[in-house]
A and B are shown apart, each in its own frame.
Chain A
Amino acid sequence: MSAESATLDSVDLLDLDMFQGIATLVASEPEIAIMRIFLILLGFLLMYLAHKGVLESLIMTPMGLGMATVNAAVLFWDAEAGIQGTLFLNPLAEETADVVTWLQIDWLQPIYNLAFSNGLIACLVLLGVGVLLDIGFVMARPFQSMFIALCAELGTVLVFPLAVAWGLPLGDSAAVATIGGADGPMILFASLILSPDLFVPITVVAYLYLGLTYGGYPYLVRAMIPKRLIGLKMPEETTREISPGEKIVFCVIACTVLSLLFPVAAPLFLSLFLGVIIRESGLRNYAEILGGPILYTATFFLGLLLGVLCEANTLLNDSVLKLLILGMTALLLSGIGGLLGGLALYYLSGRKYNPVIGIAGVSCVPTCAKVAQKCVSAETPDAIVLPHALGASISGVITSAILASIYISVVGQL
């Protein structure tokens, strides 16, 4: 056949072998091809928004590039049979022999199998977060903080029945409901157990929305709280400084009691409280390693693996649109619940408590606490609510873990 008479239809796909990323695009089903192009563009968008500071760049930069690259780098494993794949990782490998084979082929398979699918990365992130937390903010006003945090779990509680009513299976419903807890590692840990088929879109949706809370929640605060209350100055407190020994004893008690109650979430409790104890024990060498290199390495690989897992085949699922809507609903309801809790405390405290602190109960440490202080400072620059907000925010981590473990215990057994 001469070059002049060649038409597009007559081009053998194997002629494109040199550019297999394009050849696989042409050979794919149209919806897969469109999804791949969409995800490549979405990856670019995530990187751009991370670069501009709209989204959390520590997660979104590796996630965005991973998402774009994995969807561009699809190649033929067997061109005759039309089998496609990548050299990144194969999340579907389950049999031991398959896993061992893929460990030698896909460069991210070792990290996926040995650190991601068993929840190790989530625990490492929590360990690092624990090192950065001061539990004294919770201990200074435990019931206030926990009340706010419980109210801010409204989305976690209400989205579960909503998702079930919308037709999602129980496990997927519980997993997407945990987005209301606004705690990334917790959502990953819970959805790995509750929703093995949908944990990738659920976690990606969660991290996307969590990145948007800093910009979005101030609008919710202004919509729900009257302007005169946003800038409310709280009276000075007469609490004393809590000693490191007391914080350590509290962590030991809390970790043991919560682990007795919820053994399924014990890895999370141990990671979080061990981090806090290391900080309070003055083990500076451990604290520097856990709060620095390990936290950032775990965060980096968490972002990269989530991006690489966003392959068109994985995300081409009818449930993804539902997850997008339910995830947003969960965070919105949790924000509303937290602010309602703040308003309740405002009245219960004789109009002394600033209701904006309620938004901090959504957790997402320390973003929501910063949102509370930012909103208050915009109205009254010398009003300080950050210690209260941090207490509510840290309590939010604990309540998120409790609710996630209740879902794992109850729904996981059904």
Chain B
Amino acid sequence: MPRAAYWIIGVLIALAGVCIARLVAPALPADYQTWTSALGITIAVVGVLASALGAGRK
């Protein structure tokens, strides 16, 4: 996979995580907000890290 793909996919995953945490979670019933928010944060951080994966690859 070309290095640029890691950047693009990583950013898209990170932005999806942000949307889940900041847009979807607040709109859900209170019982689901915490876990959905945590899931979104995790996905966003994974996305940021995934974008770096291509950089270190030989």
Provide the main secondary structure of the chain A interface.
Answer: helix
B residues less than 8 Å from A260 (CB atoms): 18, 22, 44
| Number of interchain pairs (Cβ within 8 Å) | 61
Residue in B11, B48, B52, B56 whose Cβ sees the most chain A Cβ within 10 Å:
B52
Determine if A31 is an interface residue (Cβ-Cβ < 8 Å): no
Return the chain B residue nearest A409 by Cβ.
Answer: B37
> A238, A250, A257: which contacts B52 (Cβ < 8 A)?
A250
Determine if A14 is an interface residue (Cβ-Cβ < 8 Å): no
Q: Are A253 and B14 in contact (CB under 8 A)?
A: yes
Q: Mark A133-167, 1 if CB is under 8 A from B, else 0.
A: 00000111111001000000000000000000000
Using known A-B contacts A240-B57, A249-B7, determine if residue A142 contacts B52 with beta carbons closer than 8 Å: yes
Using known A-B contacts A253-B11, A253-B14, determine if residue A240 contacts B56 with beta carbons closer than 8 Å: yes
Determine if A17 is an interface residue (Cβ-Cβ < 8 Å): no
Q: Are A257 and B18 in contact (CB under 8 A)?
A: yes
Q: Are B49 and A143 in contact (CB under 8 A)?
A: yes
Determine if B39 is an interface residue (Cβ-Cβ < 8 Å): no
Q: Mark A240-280, 1 if CB is under 8 A from B, else 0.
A: 10100010011001100110110000000000000000000
Using known A-B contacts A260-B18, A260-B22, A261-B18, determine if residue A239 contacts B56 with beta carbons closer than 8 Å: yes
Return the chain B residue nearest A145 by Cβ.
Answer: B49
Total interface residues in chain B, CB < 8 Å? 24
Determine if B55 is an interface residue (Cβ-Cβ < 8 Å): yes
Q: Mark A63-96, 1 if CB is under 8 A from B, else 0.
A: 0000000000000000000000000000000000
Using known A-B contacts A257-B18, A260-B18, determine if residue A250 contacts B55 with beta carbons closer than 8 Å: yes
Determine if A402 is an interface residue (Cβ-Cβ < 8 Å): yes
Nearest Cβ on chain A to B12's Cβ, whole angstroms = 11
Q: Mark A311-326, 1 if CB is under 8 A from B, else 0.
A: 0000000000000000
B residues less than 8 Å from A258 (CB atoms): 44, 48
A residues less than 8 Å from B58 (CB atoms): 238-240
Q: A257 to B20, alpha carbons, bound, how many Å? A: 12
Q: A146 to B41, alpha carbons, bound, how many Å? A: 14
Nearest Cβ on chain A to B50's Cβ, whole angstroms = 8
Q: Are B55 and A242 in contact (CB under 8 A)?
A: yes
> B17, B18, B45, B50: which contacts A402 (Cβ < 8 A)?
B45
Return the chain A residue nearest B34 by Cβ.
Answer: A410
Using known A-B contacts A253-B48, A257-B18, A261-B41, determine if residue A139 contacts B10 with beta carbons closer than 8 Å: no
Q: A226 to B20, alpha carbons, bound, how many Å? A: 43
Q: Are B49 and A261 in contact (CB under 8 A)?
A: no
Using known A-B contacts A253-B48, A257-B44, A261-B44, determine if residue A139 contacts B56 with beta carbons closer than 8 Å: yes
Q: Are A254 and B48 in contact (CB under 8 A)?
A: yes
> B21, B22, B51: which contacts A253 (Cβ < 8 A)?
B51
Additional 4 contacts, C-beta under 8 A, given A253-B7, A253-B11: A140-B55, A142-B52, A146-B45, A246-B55
25 A–B pairs (Cβ distance < 8 Å), ordered by A: A138-B52, A140-B56, A142-B52, A146-B45, A239-B56, A239-B57, A239-B58, A240-B57, A242-B55, A249-B51, A253-B7, A253-B11, A253-B14, A254-B48, A257-B14, A257-B15, A257-B17, A257-B44, A258-B44, A260-B22, A261-B17, A261-B18, A261-B22, A261-B44, A402-B45
Chain A interface (Cβ < 8 Å from any Cβ of B): 138-143, 146, 238-240, 242, 246, 249-250, 253-254, 257-258, 260-261, 402, 406
